[in-house]
Amino acid sequence: MCAEGDIDNRNTGSNDVKIMQEGARIHRKIQHSMGTMYHAEVPLKIEIPLVSDLGIEYVLQVEGRADGIIADINYDEDGNKEPESDVIIDEIKTMQADVSLLKEPVYVHKAQALVYGYIYASQKKLSKIGIQMTYVTPEPETVNKFLEEYTFERIEEWFNKLITGFKRWTDYTFDERLKRTESIRELKFPYEYREGQKNLCVSVYRAIEDSANLYIQAPTGVGKTLSTVFPAVQALGQQMADKIFYLTSKTITRTVAEDTYAILRDNGLHMRTVTLTAKDKICPLDERNCNPVACPYAKGHFDRINDAVYDIITSQMVIGRDNVMEYANRHNVCPFEMSLDVSYWCDGIICDYNYVFDPDASLKRYFGNGAKGDYVFLVDEAHNLVDRAREMYSAVLKKEDFLAAKKLVKEMDKRLAGALDRCNKQLLEYKRQCDTFMVVSGLGTFPASLERVMGLMQKFMERHKGEPVTNELLEFFFAVRHFLNMYDCADEKYVYYNEHDNDGNFLVHLYCVDPSGNISERLSQGRSTVFFSATLLPVNYFKEMLSGDVSERAVYAHSSFEPDNKRIVVATDVTSRYTRRNAREYAKVHDYIMHMISGRSGRYMVFFPSYSYMESVLECFRWENGVNVTECGGEYTFLPESCVNVLVQGRFMKEADKESFLSAFYEELPEGASLAGFCVLGGIFSEGIDLKDESLIGAVIVGTGIPMVCRERNILRDYFDEFGKNGYSYAYVIPGMNKVLQAAGRVIRTDTDKGVIALLDDRFMTGEYERMYPREWNRIFPVSLGNAYKCIKDFWTEQDM
C-alpha cells in the first residue's frame, strides 16, 4: 500500500538465500554494536476495532518485530519502568546497491518504521519519537542512516491516515468473506454423483481436514476437476483453507478449472478467482522490457496500482487475461504485476506449476522466506510435475559464457574481469579432466569463486543501469544466480556432472535427479496437496518423486464408463526397438493402421515415437492409391469416399496450425472416407485435448514411448540402481508408459464414446508393462497381422447390434 515509483528490471536481485543470510548477519552485527540502550527484535502489536460497510464489527491487528529500539529505560525506586525519553525506532535494511548514494529513505521501508513508532509511542504515552532508517551495503560494508523526529500528534495523524486508506481493503475482505461463506453453506454438488465420485469428494475433503496429501488416479470420465475443486471450496467455507491454488502444466487444463468454477457459480457460489498468465503472453508491448524508460506501464506503476486492483476486484468475479488487460490499460499499470497483486484478494488462483514450485518464478508474496499459509494445492495432470520439477531445480553453466562476460567488462571493471577469469580457469581445469562426459563428486572452490562473481556483477550492473552492457550481461547474470540458488539446496538427491556438448562448449551441471525434497519443502508451506491425473501409475513411483513419502494417501477412482465401449488390441508381431527399425517393420505398422481404419471409417489418431519414425511410415502411404497426405499448415481437402486422409503434425506448429489440425476432426467427412492424424507421442496432441463422440473413434500407438537414450536418462538409471530401485524402469519405462496412457486416453471421453486402442509393440505383453495397465483395461486382445482386422471389425459389429 505504501509502495511508490516504477517497475525497473534493471535493479537486479541477488542470490535469495545468500542475501537473506547476509542481511541477518549484518542485522546482528549492528544490533550487537549499539550498546545497552539498543533493544533488538522487539515484538510490537496493536488492535484497532473497525466496522465494515455491511456493519460487520472486526478487529484489525497490526503486529511486527522492530529491528531495534534505542531507549534509556529508567526504573523508579520500586523497580517499575518509567516512561522512556528520546526513544528511536531503528529499521535496518540490507541492499546490494551502494547505500551511500541514497538521498532519502525508501518510503515503503520508512512506513514500516513509522508503524512501529506509532505503536510504541501510543503504548508508552510518548510525546515524541525518533524514526531511524539504517541502510547497509554488505561488500564493502557501507552504512547510511536517516533520522527524523516525530511528535506524537504528527505520527498519529500519519497512522490514522494509513488505517483509513487501508480500511477499504479490510472492509472488502470481511464483507466478501461473509458472502462467500454463506454461499458455500448453501452450495450443493451440481450434478448427480457418478459412481465413486462422492467417495472421491469425501477423500479430498478429509485430506484437507487432516492437513494431509492425497494422490488420485482418476480415469477419464470421473470428473476429477469438479471432484477436487468442490470439496476444496467446502473446506474454504469451513475456514480450513485461506486459498485454493489450482496448478496446471498446460493452458487448456486451466480452462477446465475456470469452467468448473463457473458451474459452481451458476449454482450459487460467490467466490472470486484469478487466472495468472505468463509475463510474455500478457505483456502489451511487442518486446518486453520492464523498466520506466522502455515501458509506459512500468513508469509510475506503483503510484497507480492500488486503485487498479481495487477497481477490478470490486467489479469482476472472474478475473482472467482479457479483463486484466482491460483494467491495466485503463489505469496504465503492468498487467502481469497487477494480476499477481489481484491474487491477494481472490480465494481461487489458477496458474502454472511455476508459480508455486519454481524457485525463480514462484510467488514470493506467498512463499518467500519460508512463509506458510492454509493453502490447498490442487495439482492437475500431476504426472507432468516430475520432469518439470527436475528442470526447475537443476542448473547449468557454460564455460564460454565466462569468457564472453569477461570480454564485455574487462575495460570497465578489472575486479569483475579478474573474478570471471578465475572462474574460467577453474572450469578449464575441469574441462581438461573431462573427456566427453564425467560425473564428479563436487565442485571444489568453484562455487566460492562464483559467489565473488555474483557480488561484483551485482554492483557492476547497478553502476551501469540502462547501458547496453547490462542488457548483454542479464541472461548470464540470471544463470549464475540460479546456479548458486540450486547449489545452496543441492543434497544427495543431486548429481554433479560435466560434459562437452555438440557445439564444442564445456558445461557444468547440477542435476536434480529426485525432486521430492524440493517439492515437499514447498508443500510444507501449505496445508494440503491433492495430486491427480488419469495416468498416475504406478502411484508409489509418483509418491517417491513428488513428496518422497510412499505412506501418503492414495485413491483409485473407478471409471464410470462401460468397459465394453472400448477394445484394446496389442500387436505381438511388431516392435519399435531401435535395433529393428527397418522397412519391414514400417510396412507392418502401415498395415496395422490400415486394418484399424478398414474396421470402420471415421477419425483416428496415430502416435509415433519420433518425427523420423513417422516420416518412415509415411513413405508407405504417400504412393498408395486412395491416400491423401497433407502436411500440417497447408490447405487440406478431404477426398471422396473410401479415401484415407492423412493429416501430419508439423515440427514447429503455431497456435493457428494446432487449431486447424484439431478442427479437421470436427469437419464432416465424405461418405466412407476416413481421417488419420499422424502425431508424435508425448507431443501437443497426445494429452490435454478433448475430442468427443465421433470426432475420434480410435488411436494407434506405435511403441512404448520410451524416451530417447541420453546422458541424463542414464544418470537417472544409475542413480536409482544404486538405491536398489529398478533404475531402467524409473528412467525410461514409467515415463514412456505414461505417454502411452495419455495418448490412449484421447479415445474415450464421455459415456457414449466408443473406440479402439491399438498398441503396436510386443513389449506391451510383458509383465513389466502389464503391471502398469490401469484397472479399466480389464481385457486385452493380443493380435497379429493375420487376425487384427477381424478383431477390430468384430468390435464394431458388436457395437452396432
pLDDT in tens, 523-580: 999 999 999 999 999 999 999 999 999 999 999 998 878 889 999 999 999 999 999 9
Q: What is the pLDDT of residue 733?
A: 97
Most confident listed range (15-24, 253-262, 633-642): 253-262
The continuous run of DSSP H or E covering 431 comes out as helix 414-433
b/e map 44-54, b = 16+ CB within 10 Å = bebeeeeebee
Q: What is the pLDDT of residue 471?
A: 87
User: Band of the pLDDT at 184, cuts 50, 70, 90?
Assistant: very high
Q: What is the pLDDT of residue 622?
A: 83
Please say whether the beta carbons of 222 and 560 come within 8 A: yes
* d(C-alpha 458, C-alpha 713), whole Å: 36
The continuous run of DSSP H or E covering 408 comes out as helix 399-409
How many H helices and E strands in the chain?
27, 25
In DSSP notation, 35-57 reads: -TTEEEEEEEEEEEEEE-TT--E
Here the cell at position 736 is 514412456
CATH for 563-800, among 3.40.50.170, 3.40.50.300, 3.40.640.10, 1.10.1040.10?
3.40.50.300
Query: Is a pLDDT exceeding 70 seen at residue 77?
Result: no
* d(C-alpha 452, C-alpha 424), whole Å: 13
Q: What is the pLDDT of residue 23?
A: 55
Backbone torsions φ then ψ of 790, nearest 5 degrees? -60, -40
Q: Convert the pLDDT of each residue in 420-443 to its tens digit.
A: 999 999 999 999 999 999 999 999
Query: Is a pLDDT exceeding 50 seen at residue 16?
Result: no
Q: What is the pLDDT of residue 73?
A: 56
- The domain 395-512: what is its CATH number? 1.10.275.40
Q: How many CB atoms lie within 10 A of CB 222?
A: 23
Please say whether the beta carbons of 791 and 783 come within 8 A: yes
In DSSP notation, 701-743 reads: EES--PPPP-HHHHHHHHHHHHTTS-HHIIIIIHHHHHHHHHH
Q: What is the pLDDT of residue 34?
A: 67
Here the cell at position 296 is 509506459
From residue 60, alpha-carbon distances to 164, 336, 472, 637 in Å are 12, 30, 48, 67
Query: Is a pLDDT exceeding 80 seen at residue 391?
Result: yes
Here the cell at position 468 is 547496453
Q: What is the pLDDT of residue 672?
A: 86
Query: Is a pLDDT exceeding 80 seen at residue 256?
Result: yes
* d(C-alpha 548, C-alpha 462), whole Å: 41
Largest Cα–Cα separation, the chain: 110
Q: What is the pLDDT of residue 26?
A: 65
Here the cell at position 623 is 504412393
Q: Which residues contact 98 (CB under 8 A, 6 or more apart)?
A: 137, 142, 459, 462
Question: Strand, coil or helix: what is 173?
Answer: helix
Q: How many CB atoms lie within 10 A of CB 20?
A: 15
What's the predicted TM-score (pTM) here? 0.91
* d(C-alpha 774, C-alpha 741), whole Å: 9
Query: Is a pLDDT exceeding 90 seen at residue 33?
Result: no
CB burial of residue 333 (10 Å; 0-12, 13-18, 19+): buried
Q: What is the pLDDT of residue 232?
A: 98
Q: Which residues contact 151 (CB under 8 A, 6 or more apart)?
A: 127, 128
Query: Is a pLDDT exceeding 60 seen at residue 759?
Result: yes
Q: Is the peptide bond before 538 cis (omega within 30 degrees of 0)?
A: yes
Mean pLDDT of the chain: 91
Q: Which residue has the higher pLDDT, 71 or 505?
A: 505
Query: Is a pLDDT exceeding 80 seen at residue 373?
Result: yes
CA 690 vs. chain centroid, Å, equals 23
Name the nearest CA neighbour of 22 among 90, 93, 86: 93
Q: Which residue has the higher pLDDT, 780 or 750?
A: 780
Q: Convert the pLDDT of each residue in 501-517 to its tens digit.
A: 999 999 999 999 999 99
For range 759-775, the mean pLDDT: 96
* d(C-alpha 475, C-alpha 462), whole Å: 15
Lowest-pLDDT choice from 76-85, 92-101, 307-316, 447-456:
76-85
Q: What is the pLDDT of residue 6?
A: 86
* d(C-alpha 347, C-alpha 335), whole Å: 19
Q: What is the pLDDT of residue 201?
A: 96
Q: Which residue has the higher pLDDT, 84 or 478?
A: 478
Please say whether the beta carbons of 496 and 511 come within 8 A: yes
Q: Where in the chain is the domain with CATH 3.40.50.300?
A: 174-390+527-556, 563-800
Please say whether the beta carbons of 308 and 233 come within 8 A: no
User: Band of the pLDDT at 400, cuts 50, 70, 90?
Assistant: very high
Q: What is the pLDDT of residue 369?
A: 80
Question: Strand, coil or helix: what is 154?
Answer: helix
Q: Convert the pLDDT of each residue in 41-61 to its tens digit.
A: 899 999 999 988 778 888 999
In DSSP notation, 677-702 reads: EEEETTSTTSSS----GGG--EEEEE
* d(C-alpha 308, C-alpha 324), whole Å: 10
Query: Is a pLDDT exceeding 80 seen at residue 313?
Result: yes
CB burial of residue 513 (10 Å; 0-12, 13-18, 19+): buried
Q: Which residues pair with 529 in a beta bridge?
A: 377
Q: Which amino acid is at 798?
A: E
For range 760-787, the mean pLDDT: 95
Here the cell at position 42 is 522487539
**CATH 3.40.309.10, applies to 174-390+527-556:** no
Calculate helix-pair angle for 399-409, 468-489, nearest 10 degrees: 140
Q: How many CA atoms within 13 Å lie on the side-chain side of 241?
A: 33
* d(C-alpha 289, C-alpha 253), whole Å: 29
Question: Strand, coil or helix: what is 364?
Answer: helix
Here the cell at position 741 is 496412457
Q: How many CA atoms within 13 Å lie on the side-chain side of 81?
A: 8
For range 170-194, the mean pLDDT: 93
Q: What is the pLDDT of residue 605?
A: 97
Query: Is a pLDDT exceeding 70 seen at residue 641?
Result: no
User: Band of the pLDDT at 338, cuts 50, 70, 90?
Assistant: very high
Q: Which residue has the higher pLDDT, 377 or 170?
A: 377
From residue 356, alpha-carbon distances to 60, 378, 583 in Å are 29, 11, 48
Query: Is a pLDDT exceeding 90 seen at residue 250?
Result: no
Question: How, if at all, do strands 627-631 and 644-648 pair?
Answer: parallel
* d(C-alpha 68, C-alpha 90), whole Å: 5
Q: Convert the pLDDT of each residue in 196-229 to its tens digit.
A: 899 999 999 999 999 999 999 998 878 899 999 9
| Grid cell 466496522 in the structure block, residue | 51
| Grid cell 523526529 in the structure block, residue | 149
How close are the terminal C-alpha atoms of the chain, in Å?
69
Q: Which amino acid is at 123?
A: Q
* d(C-alpha 675, C-alpha 602), whole Å: 6
Please say whether the beta carbons of 603 and 665 come within 8 A: yes
* d(C-alpha 47, C-alpha 62), whole Å: 6
Q: Where in the chain is the domain with CATH 1.10.275.40?
A: 395-512
